[in-house]
């Protein structure tokens, strides 16, 4: 078997990734499948950090648009990410994968507080680390949290799991003629306003030369294929195709 091309990664998951096809906020079978994928890459001696969204439970921006105070709505969204983190931790540990949830908002009964050196130490010991509660600040998305945490723990890449097999010039779910990109630069994302990650997150990755790989998480084995260097998904970096 080939060796992994990255030794430490940050996996970005949307909250919707936990929903499956049953319409449940958290579908146990879907969580189990994702946990299996994470276990398989950890078995390659890859250090795995995770940031997970909360949109399957509560989306702060949408609530704000409907009249709720934006700050309150964003904090509620952060709490939703903690619920998702605990659900994923539970399944990972059932598979024998030691896992720690580190929260940007203190809640010692449920999770450890985020401390950068502690997070890195957990990774070095082979534990999967799930970062919950975003950045701990309103007005910042979990995309930005993913970029920030990846830089802080010195991850070598951000792997963003989605429901499609890369980045397209339009929505492939509604446009059958949508074109998929194999490679993009950070500036391509910003100029073309492609929905990969928000501008703050992309800029942070650009400033720190942190590549982003967007791939289809729903296809079994894709996460492992990415780490083994197979041609999967769309890579975003600072270079030229």
Closest C-alpha among 13, 12, 10 to residue 47: 10
Q: Domain 8-237 - what CATH class? A: alpha beta
Contacts of 107 (CB under 8 A, 6+ apart): 82
Instruction: Reply yes or no on whether the pLDDT at 241 is more than 60.
Output: no
Residues facing residue 131 across a β-bridge: 51, 102
Instruction: Say what the pLDDT of residue 24 is.
Output: 77
3-state secondary structure at position 43: coil
The pLDDT of residue 1 is: 56
* Averaged pLDDT for residues 160-178: 90
Average of per-residue pLDDT across 199-228: 96
As to burial, measured by CB atoms within 10 angstroms (0-12 exposed, 13-18 middle, 19+ buried), residue 81 is buried
The full set of domain ranges for the chain reads 8-237
């Amino acid at each position: 078997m080939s060796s992994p091309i990255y030794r430490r990664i940050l996996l970005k998951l949307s909250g919707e990734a936990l929903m499956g096809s049953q319409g449940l906020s958290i579908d146990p079978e879907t969580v189990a499948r994702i946990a299996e994928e994470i276990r398989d890459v950890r078995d390659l001696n890859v250090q795995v950090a995770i940031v997970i969204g909360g949109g399957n439970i509560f989306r702060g921006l949408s609530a704000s648009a409907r009249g709720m105070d934006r700050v309150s709505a964003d904090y509620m969204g952060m709490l939703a990410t903690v619920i998702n983190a605990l659900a994923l931790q539970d399944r990972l540990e059932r598979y024998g994968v030691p896992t720690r949830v580190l929260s940007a908002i203190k809640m010692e009964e449920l999770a450890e507080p985020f401390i950068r050196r502690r997070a890195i130490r957990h990774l070095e010991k082979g534990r999967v680390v799930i970062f919950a509660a975003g950045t701990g600040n309103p007005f910042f998305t979990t995309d930005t949290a993913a970029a920030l945490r990846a830089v802080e723990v010195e991850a070598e890449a951000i792997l963003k799991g989605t429901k499609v097999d890369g980045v397209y010039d339009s929505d492939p779910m509604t446009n059958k003629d949508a074109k998929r990109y194999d490679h993009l630069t950070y500036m391509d994302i910003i100029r073309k306003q492609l929905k990969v990650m928000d501008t703050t997150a992309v800029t942070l990755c650009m400033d720190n030369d942190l590549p982003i790989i967007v791939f289809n998480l729903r296809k079994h084995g894709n996460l492992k294929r990415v780490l083994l260097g197979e041609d999967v998904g769309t890579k975003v970096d600072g270079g030229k195709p």
